[in-house]
Amino acid sequence: MRVVICEDLVLLRDGLASLLTDDGNEVVAAVGDGDALIAAVDEHHPKLAIIDVRLPPTQTDEGVRAAVDVRRRHPDVAILILSQYVEERYASDLLGGGSQGVGYLLKDRVADVREFLSAARRVAAGGTAIDPEVVSQLLSRRQRTDVLDELTPREREVLGLMAEGHSNGAIAERLVVTNGAVEKHVSSVFMKLGLPPTDQQHRRVLAVLTYLGV
C-alpha cells in the first residue's frame, strides 16, 4: 500500500520507511512537518499516513492537529499516530471524528515489527489500533460512572481488545478461549451498551467509541 510518513527526527523517519518498504509497501513521501504532510497527502493521496505527534515548529501536538486536518480534507486516508507519551486528550481529539481507519500507538510499539505492521495494515483497512496503554488510561478514567460499570470484567477485557482493534478471532487467541465464547461476550457487550443489531462492524465501532468516551 501507499504510505506517507511524517516524522521530524531523520533517524526514525528513515527507519520507519525501511521497515514499511521491507514489508512490501510503497513509501510515497517522508516529510518532517505538518504543512509538508498536508501537501504530501494532497499530492499522493495515500492509503495510510503515519504521523508523529511532536513536530516542529512548536514541538508539542502539531502532529495531532495536522492529523485532524488531513482527516477533514481526506476522510478516506487512514491515520496512524505515533507518540512518545500516552495522552488521553490527543486520543479524544483524534477519535472525535470516528474511529474508523484511526490508530494511536506509542512509539515503542515500532520495535515489535510484526505487530506494528499488522496494526498499520488494520488501520489502513479501516480498522482501529489503539495502544493498550491509551486504552487502560481511558478505562481508568471511565471507571467512575456510566454504562461500562454494568460490564463484567471479562466483557470489559474483550471490549478493551476490540478498542485496540483486534478481530474476534485475535481476541479469542489472546484470551485463550473459543471463538464462540468471544462472540457471546461481544453480543452481551452490545446489548448492555444498548447498541442496535445492525451491521456488525458499525456496532463494533460504536462500542469502542462508547468505551473510549468520545
Partner 1 sequence: MPAVLHQFRPAQLWRDSLYVFGGIILAAFWLTVLWTLVSLGVGLAVLTVGVPILFFSLLLWRWGANRERERATLVLGSPIANAHRPLPPQGFWKRWGARFRDPATWKDLLFLGLVGPIVWVVFGAVVVALWAAALAALLTPVFSGSAPDGSWLGGLRPAEVVGIAVAGLVGIVLALAATRGLAAASGALARSLLAPGDRAALEARVAEVEATRAGAVESADARLRRIERDLHDGAQHRLAYVAMELGRAREKLADDPEGADRLIADAHQESKKAMVELRDLARGIHPSVLTDRGLDAAVSALAERCPVPVDVDVALDRRPPPAVETAAYYVIAEALTNIGKHAGATHADVRTRYDVGRLVVEVADDGSGGARRTAGSGLDGLAQRVEALDGTLAVDSPGGVGTTVRAELPCR
With vertex at residue 78, the alpha carbon angle to CA 42 and CA 92, rounded to the nearest 5 degrees, is 110
Of 74, 82, 8, nearest in space to 50 by CA: 82
Closer of 27 and 38 to partner 1 (Cβ): 27
Q: Which of 1, 19, 28, 181 binds partner 1 (CB under 8 A)?
A: 19
Residue type, 186: V
The piece of 33-41, 108-116, 124-132, 159-167 that touches partner 1 (CB under 8 A) is 108-116
Counting contacts by CB under 8 A, is residue 60 touching partner 1? no
How far apart are CB 64 and partner 1 at their closest, in Å? 16
C-beta closer to partner 1: residue 21 or 178: 21
Can residue 213 be called a binding residue for partner 1 (CB under 8 A)?
A: no
Q: Which is nearer to partner 1, 26 or 108 (CB)?
A: 108
Bridge partners for 6 per DSSP: 31, 51
Among 18, 143, 178, 200, binds partner 1 (CB under 8 A): 18
Give the closest residue to 203 by CA, choosing from 76, 118, 100, 121. Answer: 100
Of the residues 26, 43, 76, 112, which one makes contact with partner 1 according to CB under 8 A:
112
Q: For the CB of residue 180, give the shortest distance to partner 1 in the complex, in Å.
A: 33
Query: What's the distance, Cα to Cα, between the start and end of the chain in Å?
Result: 29
Q: In the block, which residue shows the cell 482501529?
A: 128
Q: Does 121 bind partner 1 (CB under 8 A)?
A: no
The reply on whether position 11 binds partner 1 by CB under 8 A is yes
Q: Which three cell numbers stand for residue 182?
A: 468471544
Strands 102-106 and 128-130: parallel
**35, 46 contact by CB (below 8 A):** no
Binding residues for partner 1 (CB under 8 A) = 9, 11-12, 15-16, 18-19, 22, 54, 59, 84, 107-108, 110-114, 116
